[in-house]
Amino acid sequence: MQWIIDAFVYDITTYYGLDWAAGLFMILSLWRLKHHHRDGFVHAALAALCWIGFNLIAKSPPGFVLNAVVGAMAVHSWVNFKPPSQSPLEAAPPDPT
């Protein structure tokens, strides 16, 4: 059990908790987007920023570049977001029976 605590402490002290913050922001983003809330894209952009910081510390250029793309896509989606006009259940055609 001690190895879990040691791994957590190592992670927090080495990466400043950026990976934990990124994971939490992404879960929050998915939850908000599931309910058609525009701020989910902001949370996704914050997650991408955390991952960028993590990848800078970890010296991972691919991770940096890919998360920069994800962050740019989240910002683009936030700018172009349009709420759904109706719920998918309301859009279903009537039952022919």
pLDDT tens string, the chain, 97 residues long: the values are 888 888 878 877 888 989 999 999 999 999 999 998 999 999 999 999 999 999 999 999 999 999 999 999 999 999 998 877 766 555 556 666 6
Predicted local confidence at residue 83, as pLDDT: 79
The answer to whether 44 and 25 have CB atoms below 8 angstroms apart is yes
Q: Is residue 68 assigned to a domain?
A: yes
What total number of domains does the chain contain? Answer: 1
Q: Is residue 26 assigned to a domain?
A: yes
- Quote the pTM value: 0.78
One-letter amino acid of 65? V
Domain that residue 31 falls in = 13-80
Q: Is residue 8 assigned to a domain?
A: no
Q: Is residue 23 assigned to a domain?
A: yes
Q: Indicate the SS3 state at residue 81.
A: coil
Q: Is residue 33 assigned to a domain?
A: yes
CB count within 10 Å of CB 51 equals 26
